[in-house]
Every structure is written in C-alpha cells, then in structure tokens.
C-alpha cells in the first residue's frame, strides 16, 4: 500500500527524471525504463501515477509551462514601471530565464 501523501512527491520525482532523461538522450530515446532508472523506481510506477509514458510526457510539459508562466508572472509582478515596454521586457526575460535555458547536470551511473 502506498504511503499517504506520496503521490505528489512521486509525481514530481518522475517529472524531474523525465526532464533529465530527455536532456541526456533526447525525447525519442527517453524510454520508460530510462526515466524510471533516473528516478530510482520501477517502471510500473510510471503507469501507476500517469497511465504510461504519454501521460508522463503530458504532465512534464504541463509542469514546464507552469514553471515558465510563474517565471514571467513573477517578473511582471516585480515591475516598478507599468509601461507596455516594461511588461514586454519582463515577458522576454521570463522566457529566457537562465534556469529555463541551462540544462541540469547529467547524472552518471
């Protein structure tokens, strides 16, 4: 029986592992087994939480879009200048935030 409260933790773990696997070998080679290995879990856990690879890829894309939206919103919220130019600049900066453009370090082993 899974521990209560583990689902959100496990889902985030698998999403991060998916990003790492895709970064390492590309989308076509990011198999369920490779993703599970990155997460340190069995491949069956992916089916349990996401219904399979397609569900996991969808959740991963949604997470990326949420992170991007949050980065843009934070920059726009912090603006002191409310001009359209300032908002456009914040949107551009949020979309090219170094945390979005810099790959995580590869995990070896």
Give the pLDDT of residue 102.
52
Distance CA 83, CA 106 (A): 41
Q: pTM for the whole thing?
A: 0.78
Could you state, in order of their start, the residue ranges of all structural domains in the chain? 6-99
Alpha helices in 26-107 (DSSP H): 32-39, 44-50, 53-77, 84-95, 98-101
Distance CA(93)–CA(32), nearest Å, equals: 34
Residues in the chain: 109
Predicted pLDDT at 44: 93
- Which mean pLDDT values do the consecutive 10-residue runs of the chain (109 residues) have? 77 95 94 95 94 96 93 94 94 80 51
Q: Residue 104: what pLDDT?
A: 53
Contact 56, 14 (CB under 8 A): yes
pLDDT at 97: 75
Say what the pLDDT of residue 108 is: 47
Evaluate whether the domain defined by 6-99 bears CATH number 3.30.70.20. Answer: no
The predicted structure's pLDDT at residue 58: 97
Predicted confidence at residue 6, as pLDDT, reads 81
Kindly tell me the sign of the dihedral angle through the C-alpha atoms of 26, 24, 35, 97: negative
């Amino acid at each position: 029986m899974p521990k209560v409260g583990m689902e959100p933790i496990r889902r985030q773990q698998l999403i991060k592992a998916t990003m790492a696997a895709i970064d390492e070998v590309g989308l076509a080679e990011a198999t369920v087994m490779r993703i599970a290995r990155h997460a340190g879990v069995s491949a069956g856990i992916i089916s349990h939480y996401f219904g399979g690879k397609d569900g996991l890829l969808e959740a991963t894309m949604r997470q990326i879009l949420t992170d991007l939206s949050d980065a843009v919103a934070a920059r726009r919220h912090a603006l002191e200048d409310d001009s359209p130019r300032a908002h456009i600049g914040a949107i551009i900066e949020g979309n090219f935030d170094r945390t979005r453009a810099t790959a995580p370090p590869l995990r070896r082993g």
